[in-house]
Amino acid sequence: MKIEEEIRQKPFKDVYTKAMVNLLYTHSYLVSRQSRLFKPYGLSPEQYNVLRILRGKHPDPTTVSSIQDRMLNKMSNASRLVEKLKQKGMVERKECAEDRRQVDITITDKGLETLSRLENEVKLFNKDSIQLSEEEANQLNGLLDKLRG
Amino acid sequence: MKIEEEIRQKPFKDVYTKAMVNLLYTHSYLVSRQSRLFKPYGLSPEQYNVLRILRGKHPDPTTVSSIQDRMLNKMSNASRLVEKLKQKGMVERKECAEDRRQVDITITDKGLETLSRLENEVKLFNKDSIQLSEEEANQLNGLLDKLRG
DNA sequence: CTGTAATAAATGTATATACATTAAATACAA
DNA sequence: TTGTATTTAATGTATATACATTTATTACAG
């Protein structure tokens, strides 16, 4: 459905304002769905993302600041997200030997199992949530990459 | 920059997962910028959006549920956002005569003035934040509308 | 070496999202 | 008309974002 109908608004005067609103609205649509997907696993979308970052380095650890760097939301708070995951037994934390300011985070077996149980479901979910052909999805990726300048 | 570089990740195996991550990342990029834009005016991005909804109906009032309906984030909480705007003197609240369950919200002169001071700046901001040609921005809007099914 | 700057992580606070529950008013079927 | 269901708004709680500040450690200029 066109964005103007979805939020019951009169047509936008300029295409950039419309694109901004459209991006915000589409994001909300996707994240609401994601929350429902992850809920049965006791994870939020951001916690899931942190687990994926950690799996990418496993069995090597990742420092908190390196997690922050790779997070989708740069303004988020890796320190607190890691704490939540630790409470769930999905990550381990230990002081970094070479630089005692840093903290090494490693994903646990439980974390890896949770990711693996989610893997297929997430893949289907992503395809199902994005009602585009592969070619259109590629186009979208190109436009988003360009958009950010 | 390509999304894989921005979050230092290996290439995505499927285009839908890449599009999902790209949308989440681009949203975060835009909202972080928006927060900085609105901050000097004492508004959050969502509060600004609610003010715009109210201006669309002004001088008629809008009920809380109608605001909720038009919000970009359907899971948000119009009731609490209205309360914040009321504390800033930008909206008025009064019981609806025909249906006493409902509450009529009206934007105040102060709210209208704030929007009007922001108008040009926001327009420039949107164009500046979305580094696309008009044609590309139209394409993006089409893809986002289609994506949501 | 010493002191200052820079860096890493944690923490504090305000706002917002996600979702469940409650309270009041209204609609509507029996 | 009465009782049940529905609707509207408010509220409670957990999580996350945005940003400032603090604390500990390391880097590095003098």
Residue B128 sits at φ, ψ, to 5 deg, of -70, -30
Contact at CB, A126 and B14, closer than 8 angstroms: yes
**For residue B46, what are the contacts with CB-CB under 8 A and spacing of at least 6?**
B71, B72, B73, B76, B81
Q: Are B9 and A56 in contact (CB under 8 A)?
A: yes
Contact at CB, A139 and B137, closer than 8 angstroms: no
Strand C within 7 A of A101 CB: yes
Token representation of residue A42: 């006791």
Strand C within 7 A of A95 CB: no
Interface of B with A in 123-142 (CB under 8 A): 123, 126-127, 129-132, 134, 136-141
Residue A140 exposed, middle or buried by CB count within 10 Å (0-12, 13-18, 19+): buried
Q: Could you give the 3-state DSSP secondary structure of residue B47?
A: helix
The conformation of residue A58, written as its DSSP 8-state character, comes to T
Distance from CA of A65 to the nearest CA of B (A): 13
Tens of pLDDT along A4-48? Answer: 998 988 899 899 999 999 999 999 999 999 999 999 999 999 999
What CATH number labels A3-147? 1.10.10.10
Contact at CB, B123 and A17, closer than 8 angstroms: yes
How, if at all, do strands A103-107 and A62-63 pair?
antiparallel
Distance from CA of B80 to the nearest CA of A (A): 18
CATH number for B42-141 (one of 1.20.59.10, 1.20.910.10, 1.10.10.10, 3.30.70.1900): it is: 1.10.10.10
Tens of pLDDT along B22-79? Answer: 999 999 999 999 999 999 999 999 999 999 999 999 999 999 999 999 998 888 899 9
The pLDDT of residue A1 is 86
Tens of pLDDT along A56-101? Answer: 999 999 999 999 999 988 888 999 999 999 999 999 999 998 999 9
Tens of pLDDT along A108-140? Answer: 999 999 999 999 999 999 999 999 999 999 999
Interface of A with B in 58-97 (CB under 8 A): 69-75
Domain edges within chain A: 3-147
**For residue A85, what are the contacts with CB-CB under 8 A and spacing of at least 6?**
A47, A50, A51, A91, A111
pLDDT over threshold 90, residue B17: yes
Contact at CB, B74 and A28, closer than 8 angstroms: yes
pLDDT over threshold 90, residue A54: yes
Q: Are B53 and B67 in contact (CB under 8 A)?
A: yes
